[in-house]
Structure 1
Amino acid sequence: MQTIRQLADLRDAVSGLRAAGAGIAFVPTMGALHAGHMALVAAAKQAGQRVVVSIFVNPKQFGPNEDLAKYPRKEQADSRMLTEAGVDVLWLPPVEVMYPEGHSTNISVSGVSEPLDGAARPGHFDGVATVVAKLFNQVRPDIALFGEKDFQQLAVIRRMVADLDFDIEIRGVPTQRDDDGLALSSRNVYLPGEERAAAVALPRALGIAARAIEKGDEVVAALATARGSLEAAGFEVDYVELVDAETLADPVAGKPRRLLAAARIAGTRLIDNIAIGQSE
C-alpha cells in the first residue's frame, strides 16, 4: 500500500493505476477505522477495481461545540488494517493540503441537507459536500462507497454528484452493527460501559417503530413511542422522523421511505436509520 500526503504524488499514483488498466474505487473516511469502514473496503474490492482510501478529519464539518479536538485519530492502527485488507493507496492529506491558504469555496446542497441533521448541525453538510467534492477531484474515482449508517450524508452526496455532473457511481453499503444491534461508529468509543449497554435502545426503538408502521399503525404514534422509549433509556432525542428515502422530505405514497433518528447519551450523539417497506 502506498501512503501519500501530497496531491501531486496522489495524482501520479492514480495515473499509474489507470495506466495499468485499472478502475478506481474510493472509500473516503475520517479514520478511527472499524468493521463498518472495512465493509466499505471489502465492497470496493468486490467491485474488481483498485482501492483508494482517504483519511481526513475534516474541520469544516464540525460545529463550534462539537468534538473535532477529541475525535479519535489512530493513523498507525488504521494503516495496518488497510494494508491487511489489500488497499492500494492511502490518501492522508494534512489540513494545509486540503485547505491551502486562501481557500474560500464552499459547496451547499439545498433541500436534502436542510432537515434532520442539517437543522441540528448548521453548516455540517456544507462541510461534507465541500470536502467530498475536493476528494472526488483529487482521486477521480470511477465509484465511491459510503455507509448507509450516515444516510443523510449519502443522500446529500448523491444529490451533489447528480447536480454537478460528477462521472462517479455512488454506492451505499448497508449499516454494519455490533452483536447487540448498535450501529458501528467511531463515536461509540466515547460511551462508558453502562451507557454503551443502554445505547442499544436506539436500534431497538427504530425496529419497533418500523414494524408498527409497516403493519399500518399510525405513523405519529409510532414515532412518539420511539421517542418515549429513547428518553426512558436516558437519551436526549434530536429527532425521530419518517421521510422519503431520496429527498428526505415528507414521505410519498409508493416510494421508498426511511426512518431516521439522532439522540445523545452520555454526551455522545448517535445516529441510526432503517428502511421502511420498499428497499432502495
Structure 2
Amino acid sequence: MRTLSDIAELRQALGQARRQGQRIGLVPTMGNLHPGHIALVEAARARTDVVVASIFVNPLQFGAGEDLDAYPRTLADDQAKLAAAGCDLLFTPTSTTLYPQGLEAQTRVHVPVVSEGLCGASRPGHFDGVATVVAMLFNLFQPDLACFGEKDRQQLAVIRKLTADLHFPIDIVGVPIVRADDGLALSSRNGYLDARQRAQAPALYRNLCQARDALQAGEPHDTVLRDTLARLSAGGLAPDYLELRRADDLSPVTDATRDAVLLAAVHLGPARLIDNLTVSLPR
C-alpha cells in the first residue's frame, strides 16, 4: 500500500489507474480505525479494482468545544490495518494541504434540509464541514464508488444528496453498522468510555431494539419514543435526541410511511454515542 500526502502525486497515481480502465473505490475516514472502517474497505474491495482511503481529521466539521484536539490519531496502526484489508493507496493530507488559505477563507458546501435537525441541530455547521471535505475528496480522487457507514445515517443522507445535487458520477454505498458482541455500534469515540461507561453503553442499542419492536407491533409513535427516552435516562444515558424518520430521505414520517428509521444520540461521560435501526411500520 502506498501512502501519499501530496495532491499532485495523488492525481498522478490515480490517473495511471484510470488509463488502465480500473474502477476506483474510495473510503474517506478520520483514522483511529476499527472493524467498522475495515468493513468499508472490504465493501470497496469487492466492487472495484483499486481501493483508496483517506485519513484526515477535518477541522471544519468540529464545533467550538468539541474534541478536535483530543480526537485519537493512530496513523501507523491505521496503515497496517488498511494494508491488511487490501487497500491500495492511502491519502494523508494536512489541513494546510486541503485548506491553504485557512478555514475562514475556505469555500464551503451546504446541503439544505437533510442537514437540519438530528445531529445537525446539536452540532451547528458540522455537516457543512463534512459536505465540504467530501466534495473536495470526490474532486481529488474522482472515484467510481465511495463507501460510507450506515451508523452515521444522517451523514450518509447528506452525502447522497450532495452527490445527486452536484452531479458527481459516483455510486454511494452504505455499509451496515458493525457492532460489538453486546450490540454497541463501533465508533472511534467509544475509546473515550471508561470500564463502567462501556458497560452502560449497550443499553442504547437494547432500547432501540425494544422501541423498534414496539413500533412494528403498532404501538403509538409518541408513546414509544417517550417511554424509550425515559428508559435511556434511567440507564444513565443522557438523550440528545430520539426520532423516527423516513428511511429514504430522513424527512418526518407520515401515516403513509412504511420504511422508517429510528435515530438516537446520547451523551455518556465524555462520549456522544449515535445509533439507528430501520423500522417497518405496520399499515
Q: TM-score range by the shorter chain?
A: over 0.9
Shift of 1:28: 0.3
- Report the counterpart of residue 79 of structure 1 in structure 2: 79
- Report the counterpart of residue 40 of structure 1 in structure 2: 40
Shift of 1:226: 1.2
Spell out, residue by residue over 1:47-95, the C-alpha distance to the aligned partner (whole angstroms, 9 max, x if none): 1321000000000000111000000100000001111112111010111
Shift of 1:30: 0.3
Which of 206, 209, 212 in structure 1 is aligned with 2:208?
A: 206
- Report the counterpart of residue 132 of structure 1 in structure 2: 134
- Report the counterpart of residue 271 of structure 2 in structure 1: 268
Q: Bigger CA drift: 249-258 or 229-238?
A: 249-258
| Cα root mean square deviation, aligned | 1.0
Change beyond 3 A, Cα 1:58–1:268: same
How many residue pairs get aligned? The number is 278
Query: Counterpart of 1:170 in 2: which secondary structure?
Result: strand
Q: 1 CA distance for matches of 2:251 and 2:86?
A: 39
Could you tell me the percent identity over the aligned residues?
51
Query: Counterpart of 2:14 in 1: which secondary structure?
Result: helix
Q: One-letter code of the match for 1:258?
A: V
Q: 2 CA distance for matches of 1:214 and 1:111?
A: 27
- Mapping of 1:81-100 within 5 angstroms? 81-100=81-100
Q: Do the aligned residues in 1 keep the contact of 2:30 with 2:54 (CA within 8 Å)?
A: yes
Q: Do the aligned residues in 2 keep the contact of 1:111 with 1:247 (CA within 8 Å)?
A: no
Shift of 1:255: 4.6
Query: Counterpart of 1:141 in 2: which secondary structure?
Result: coil
Q: 2 CA distance for matches of 1:81 and 1:136?
A: 23
Query: Counterpart of 2:32 in 1: which secondary structure?
Result: coil
Q: Do the aligned residues in 2 keep the contact of 1:25 with 1:143 (CA within 8 Å)?
A: yes
Q: One-letter code of the match for 1:195?
A: Q
Q: 2 CA distance for matches of 1:275 and 1:211?
A: 11
Q: What TM-score, normalized to structure 1?
A: 0.97
1:163 aligns with 2:165: yes
Spell out, residue by residue over 1:195-233, the C-alpha distance to the aligned partner (whole angstroms, 9 max, x if none): 000000100111100010011001111111111111111
Q: One-letter code of the match for 2:202?
A: V
Q: 1 CA distance for matches of 2:212 and 2:218?
A: 10
Q: 2 CA distance for matches of 1:158 and 1:233?
A: 35
Q: One-letter code of the match for 1:215?
A: A
Q: Do the aligned residues in 2 keep the contact of 1:227 with 1:240 (CA within 8 Å)?
A: yes
Shift of 1:247: 2.5
- Report the counterpart of residue 190 of structure 2 in structure 1: 188
Q: 1 CA distance for matches of 2:117 and 2:249?
A: 10
Q: 2 CA distance for matches of 1:87 and 1:104?
A: 30
Spell out, residue by residue over 1:220-266, the C-alpha distance to the aligned partner (whole angstroms, 9 max, x if none): 11111111111111111110000012222211324521100000001
Query: Counterpart of 1:104 in 2: which secondary structure?
Result: coil
Q: Do the aligned residues in 1 keep the contact of 2:246 with 2:257 (CA within 8 Å)?
A: no
Q: What TM-score, normalized to structure 2?
A: 0.96
- Which consecutive segments of 4 or more residues in structure 1 shift more than 6 A? none
- Report the counterpart of residue 66 of structure 1 in structure 2: 66
Query: Counterpart of 1:217 in 2: which secondary structure?
Result: coil
Q: One-letter code of the match for 1:202?
A: L
- Report the counterpart of residue 26 of structure 2 in structure 1: 26
- Report the counterpart of residue 105 of structure 1 in structure 2: 107
Q: Do the aligned residues in 1 keep the contact of 2:2 with 2:88 (CA within 8 Å)?
A: yes
Shift of 1:19: 1.9
